[in-house]
């Protein structure tokens, strides 16, 4: 869920934000914040794509969110006076606003509409997390992969051919989203290709039969 700062804040608050925010030019694969670190502000994605992931004791990644332009990152740790629960890494060259902690809390205190928007954002993310966890426990891996492919298309859209998902993810990243091993993702993608549901070109994924993928994603 995205948040439009400019439409919510007053002209005076926008001026304060403009003076206080820092524009970060982040290169592909660069880390923006680290799991376990103490937050000193929040991050607003202007352009680009960011993956948020946790890492288990064996070093395996579990992707918990894919951010798109307009998404706010790192605010939950700040609100809870906690450390970051995940790491943010750029999937491509990206532009991000860094908004200092004091400015973020000041906006929450003086603008009720902004506070309400943050509460709605938090609620939506918690609902998404609950849905994701339920899917991991109930659905077979093939259904989860189909659901992830549709989620990627819904989040980032398609390229000009209206079939190729407009984000390039490694097979390991797909495994991190689905909650399975890279080898399993490769095997299932090959299965989708044989069924005529999908075509691949490197990291690019072309959805050839969205209705069939949707039906597959609903199998419990």
18 to each of 3, 48, 104, 169, how far by Cα in Å?
16, 20, 12, 33
* Cα–Cα distance, 17 to 104 (Å, whole number): 9
CATH superfamily to which 5-135 belongs: Jelly Rolls (2.60.120.10)
CA distance 169 to 157: 14
Q: What is the pLDDT of residue 135?
A: 59
Q: What is the pLDDT of residue 41?
A: 95
**Which pTM value belongs to this model?**
0.81
Residues in the chain predicted with pLDDT less than 70, given as ranges, are 1-3, 5, 128-137, 220
- What pLDDT does residue 59 have? 80
Spatial neighbors of 196 by CB under 8 A, at least 6 apart, are 208, 209
Residue 199 and residue 25: Cα distance in Å, rounded? 33
Q: What pLDDT is attached to residue 179? A: 84
Could you tell me the residue ranges of all domains in the chain? 5-135, 140-217
- Say what the pLDDT of residue 94 is: 97
Whether the domain at 5-135 and the domain at 140-217 fall into the same CATH topology: no
pLDDT attached to residue 120: 86
CATH 3.40.640.10 for domain 140-217, yes or no, is: no
């Amino acid at each position: 869920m995205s948040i439009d700062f400019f439409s919510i804040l007053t002209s005076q608050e926008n001026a304060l934000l403009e003076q206080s925010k820092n524009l970060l030019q982040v290169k592909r694969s660069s880390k923006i914040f680290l799991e376990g670190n103490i937050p000193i502000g929040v991050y607003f994605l202007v352009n680009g794509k960011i993956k948020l992931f946790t890492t288990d004791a064996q070093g395996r990644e579990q992707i918990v969110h894919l951010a798109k332009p307009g998404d706010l990152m790192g605010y939950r740790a700040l609100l809870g006076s906690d450390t970051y629960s995940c790491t943010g890494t750029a999937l491509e060259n990206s532009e991000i606003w860094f908004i200092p902690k004091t400015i973020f809390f000041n906006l929450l205190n003086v603008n009720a509409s902004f506070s309400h928007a943050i509460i709605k954002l938090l609620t939506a993310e918690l609902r998404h997390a609950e849905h994701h966890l339920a899917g991991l426990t109930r659905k077979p891996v093939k259904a989860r992969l189909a659901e992830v492919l549709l989620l990627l298309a819904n989040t980032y859209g398609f390229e000009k051919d209206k079939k190729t998902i407009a984000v390039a993810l490694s097979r390991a990243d797909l495994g991190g989203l689905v909650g399975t091993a890279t080898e399993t993702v490769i095997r299932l993608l090959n299965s989708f290709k044989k069924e005529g549901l999908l075509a691949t070109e490197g990291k690019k994924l072309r959805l050839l039969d969205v209705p069939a993928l949707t039906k597959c994603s609903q199998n419990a």
